[in-house]
Amino acid sequence: MDEGIVCELAGHLEELHAALRGRGLSEDEAFAQACEQAGNWEELQRGIISAKEEGAMRERVRQIWIPALMTALISYAALAVFRWVGVRPSVVHAGEARALVVYLPWLGVLPFIGAIGGFLSRRAEGDRRRAYFAAGLPSGALAGILVLIFALALVIDRGVAWEIKGTAFAATVASWVVLPGIALWFGAFVEGFRKGDRAG
């Protein structure tokens, strides 16, 4: 049995024993009733483990998933606004497989959005690692989607050399994952540094 659970069980029984003693029961009677009310030890252990796991899940939702969702929504909403108002990206090596698409105005606002994600995570008492994870998760999720698309392209479109596909994939990842991810993480870093979280 986990040491933490043993301590919790012991603490629970001590509180119950003290309450029974406070009602005027003898030492032996209080001990017997405390053991009796504890019931099935395995069931009590499962209840404690379940409560801990549920608490940990709620903690992850507040510290990671909600901040990550907000970061993703704001990031791509900002990109949609830039596209709607007619902001065009800068394209390096246009017309080639290695073309890099760089939305400079969008990259310029991403650090602020990353800072929002980091702030939301820290406000929910998340540590620095969770704040960075929440801020960078939108880029990580997009990387997963791009890997899946690339794998499908290798299987479906056999007419194009895999070297060209690989170069195009690397350029796409650099444009839409690496650069935005760095910008988001930079925002989370600055927000954490401002809060004085310089270590661990």
Query: Can you give the pLDDT of all 200 residues of the chain as single tens digits?
Result: 455 555 666 666 677 667 767 777 677 776 666 666 655 555 655 655 565 556 567 787 888 889 999 999 999 999 999 999 998 888 887 777 778 888 899 999 999 999 999 899 888 887 888 888 889 888 988 898 988 888 887 777 766 666 777 788 888 899 999 999 999 999 998 887 666 554 44
Q: Give the Cα separation of 88 and 141 in Å (integer).
A: 24
Q: Give the Cα separation of 112 and 188 in Å (integer).
A: 8
DSSP secondary structure, 115-170, as one string: HHHHHHHHHTT--HHHHHHHHHHHHHHHHHHHHHHHHHHHHH-TTS-HHHHHHHHH
Q: What is the pTM of this model?
A: 0.66
